[in-house]
Amino acid sequence: MTKLNKTLSLLFLLFIVTSCSKEVETNFTLKGHIKGLKKGIVYLQKEGDSTIINLDSMVITGQPEFTLKTNLEEPILLYLKLFKNDGEEHYIPFFADEGVTELKTTLKNFNYDAEIKGSKQQELLNEYTKVMSKFNDQNLDIIEASFLAQKDNDSIAVDSLIKASETLFKRKYSYTIQFALNHKDNIIAPYLALYEIPSANPIYVDSVYNGLTEDIKNSFYGKKLGEVIANRNTEE
C-alpha cells in the first residue's frame, strides 16, 4: 500500500469514528413501554419558536418497548408523540433532564395511564398534577350537580353551586401560585406561571418571577416569563 493510500485510509477511518461519536453524543434517554401497541411511530419532540421539532423517532413493529435519545442543554418540557396506523396522534408532555426517564402507559388510555419517572422537575410536575386532578374531579361534580339543579329549576342550589365553582377556581389559582413560590429554585416555577396561570393577577405572576433564583431566571422558562412580563409592562 502506498503512503498516499495509507494516509487516505487513516483519514477515512478517522471520519468514520468522528461521525459515529457525533451520532451517539446524547445526554438524555427516554425508555418507554406502551402496553398493547403493535404498530406505529413514536417521536421525541420539543417546542420550537413557531413549530414542533422532532428530536428522535422509532418505528414500532410488534415490540411495546422503545428508546429515544437527544442532547439537552438544560431541563425542558418534551413531548412523546404517538402516531398510530389509524392516523391519530397522541401526546404526553414530561420534563426531561440529563440522564434516563422511564415512561410507561397503555395504548387504550395513552395519556391518562402514563407513569413517568426521571427528573426532579417531573417529580414536582407529578405532585402538582395529582392535586390538580382532584380539583378537576371536584369541578366535574359541581357541573353535574349544577345540571341536575337546573333541570329541577332549583335556583337556590344553582346559585350555591356557582359560588362553589368560583371558590374552587380561586383555590386552584392559589395552589398553583403557592406551589410556584415554594419551588423558586426549580424551572417548574416559571413554567407554571407561564402556562397554568397566565391570566392571574399580574401582582402574583410578578411575585413568582421576582422570587426566582438567578439561575432559574436565566433558564429557558425564566427568560420566557421575563419577556412576557416586560411586554405586558410595555403595553401598559
**Tens-of-pLDDT digits for all 236 residues of the chain?**
554 444 444 444 444 444 444 455 899 999 999 999 888 999 999 988 778 899 999 999 988 999 999 999 999 999 999 998 776 788 999 999 999 999 999 999 998 899 999 999 999 999 999 999 999 999 999 999 999 999 999 999 999 999 999 999 999 999 999 999 999 999 999 999 999 988 888 899 999 999 999 999 999 999 999 999 999 888 76
**Residue 214, domain member (yes or no):** yes
Assess whether 210 and 227 both reside in one domain.
yes
Q: Is residue 126 part of a domain?
A: yes
Same domain, 38 and 134: no
Q: Are residues 131 and 210 in the same domain?
A: yes
- 39-52: b or e for each residue (b if 16 or more CB lie within 10 Å)? ebebbbbeeeeeee
Q: Determine if the pTM surpasses 0.75.
A: yes
pLDDT at position 24: 58
Last residue of a domain, one of 67, 102, 118: 118
| Same domain assignment for residues 128 and 230 | yes
Judgement on whether residues 86 and 152 belong to the same structural domain of the protein:
no
Strands (E), 19-161: 28-35, 39-47, 52-61, 65-70, 76-84, 89-96, 99-106, 115-117
Domain extent at residue 146? 122-235
130 and 219 fall within a common domain:
yes
Handedness of CA 225, 229, 234, 236 (dihedral sign): positive
DSSP three-state, residue 118: coil
Residues 173 and 202 in one domain: yes
Distance CA(121)–CA(213), nearest Å, equals 15
Given 118, 140, 174, the domain boundary residue is 118
Residues 145 and 56 in one domain: no
Q: How far is CA 50 from CA 40, 72, 185, in A?
A: 26, 19, 28
Q: In this structure, is residue 8 part of a structural domain?
A: no
Same domain, 83 and 156: no
Q: Which three cell numbers stand for residue 166?
A: 368560583
* Helix (H) or strand (E) segment spanning residue 173: helix 155-182
Domain of 41: which CATH number?
A: 2.60.40.1120
Residue 18 lies in a domain: no
Give the model's pLDDT for residue 8: 40
Total of domains in the chain: 2
Instruction: Say if 113 falls within a structural domain.
Output: yes
Residue 186: inside a domain: yes
Domain final residue pick, 118, 139, 162: 118
